[in-house]
Structure 1
Amino acid sequence: MTITAPKLDVMGSACRCIICHDYGDRDRLGNSELRTIVHVKEYGWSVVLIAPRDGLPGWAFTTGLWHSHRSPELAVFGLEPYDMQTIVNNLGDHAAAGRPLTAGQERRDATERHAVLLRPIHDRWYDRLLVEALRFYRRPPLPFLQVVWPDEGGRYPWQSGSDPRLSAAQPSLWLSPDTHPRGSWTS
């Protein structure tokens, strides 16, 4: 009989996701959680697509990268759904292949269209924008990175001369909600 050590989360304790830990409610999991479990077991992660709503652009994020590969989960905002899903899946493939994803990296392997920059997401945004991931992991903290894309001139939203539409399409989630510029993402 082989005994394997439990997967550890960012705090060094055993993984607390709904795959690794029985919370006693598996018979009451919804279709979303069940689909996520199947995707994580089969592919290593799942991608959640959120449609535009309440004046906000859509977004996409992963659930399961941390469970399967000890890689930060990813979120991208404001692009077409197919493009967002492609970006997080490409980066997930790189993480699964042993090419780590870390805050501050500019990656040219996420999409053929442009580079992206990875920024850490402040954990106070999780319950506002990443609820499905919280339901899967049941407790933060877990690392999330925002995949930030530049304008056509290659400038990121915080850089001088960048297209002002970037900030409307992509929140600055590395800032806490209290220090984020007021707008549609903070209301």
Structure 2
Amino acid sequence: MCWICDHPEATDEDYLERLRQIVRSHGWAVQYIESDRTPFAYTVGLHDCGLPELLVSGVSPDRARRLLSTAARAALRGESFTPGRHTALRAGPLVEVVEVEHPDVHLAWALNHGGPGVRALQLVWADERGRWPWAPRFADGRVRQPVLGVRAPRRRRQNA
């Protein structure tokens, strides 16, 4: 269950304060958005360090937390997530970095925390056969992974 579901009496400001506490203690928080269409998750707090927030879609809450935390740690160590670059995440899939066109539409809590200048990068993941969501037979049709921006020209691969 989610914190908001477990605290029905809480206000949006109460939840934002909870996110701020997590960001203060861990450097970032992961916000998961459940949806009938496609769930997604994003970081809150990387903007405080001058970095774009990170987003992933089409995965479970646990997988989203692992992928985003791995990538957030790498970004805070100085590793660059550049649009168009393929990056092999530690203990995770190969991802392509895509600039999110409208963070204001998808990252409400990150904007509530960091203000209107928040940028975001989507970590678009390849399926277990190395197929991307724009390829035929991605995940054998079992999973949807919307891409929330325009793909940049491909750059060379790096490991994170």
Q: Which position in structure 2 is the counterpart of 1:22?
A: none
Equivalent of 1:155 in 123, 131, 142:
131
1:18 matched residue in structure 2: none
User: What are the ranges of 5 or more consecutive residues in structure 2 without an aligned counterpart?
Assistant: 1-10, 151-160
TM-score calculated relative to the size of structure 1: 0.67
**3-state SS of 2:56 partner:** strand
**Partner deviation per Cα, 1:51-73 (whole Å, 9 max, x = no partner):** 2x3x21221100111212x2211
Number of the residue aligned with 1:115: 94
Kept in 1: contact 2:40–2:55 (CA 8 A): yes
Over 6 Å off, 4+ runs: none
1:66 and 2:47 correspond: yes
Whether the 8 Å CA contact 1:71–1:100 is kept in 2: the answer is no
How many pairs are equivalent?
Answer: 140
1:29 and 1:160 mapped to 2: Cα distance? Answer: 41
Structure-2 separation of matches of 1:48 and 1:113: 19
Q: In the superposition, relative to structure 1, how do residues 97 and 113 fare at CA in structure 2: closer, same or farther (>3 Å)?
A: closer
Q: Quote the offset at 1:160 in angstroms.
A: 4.7
Q: Which of 136, 143, 152 is the aligned partner of 2:113?
A: 136
5+ long unaligned stretches in structure 1: 1-27, 176-187
What is the Cα-based RMSD across aligned positions, in Å?
A: 2.1
1:34 Cα deviation from its structure 2 partner = 0.4
Q: Distance in 1 between matches of 2:69 and 2:56?
A: 11
The answer to whether the 8 Å contact 2:133/2:146 transfers is no
CA distance in 1, matches of 2:75, 2:42: 15
Deviation at 1:164, TM superposition (A): 6.3
RCO higher in structure (CA 8 A, sep ≥6): 2
Letter in 1 for 2:16: E
Matched with 1:174 is 149
Between structure 1 and structure 2, the one with the greater Rg is 1
Cα contact 2:100–2:121 (8 A) shared by 1:
yes
1:19 counterpart residue number = none
Structure 1 letter corresponding to 2:95 = V
The structure whose residues are more often strand, as a share, is: 2
Deviation at 1:161, TM superposition (A): 4.9
Tell whether the 8 Å contact from 1:71 to 1:101 is kept in structure 2 after alignment: no
The alignment-based identity, stated in percent, is 27
Whole-Å separation in 1 of the counterparts to 2:33 and 2:137: 29
- Give the secondary structure class of the aligned counterpart of 1:79: coil
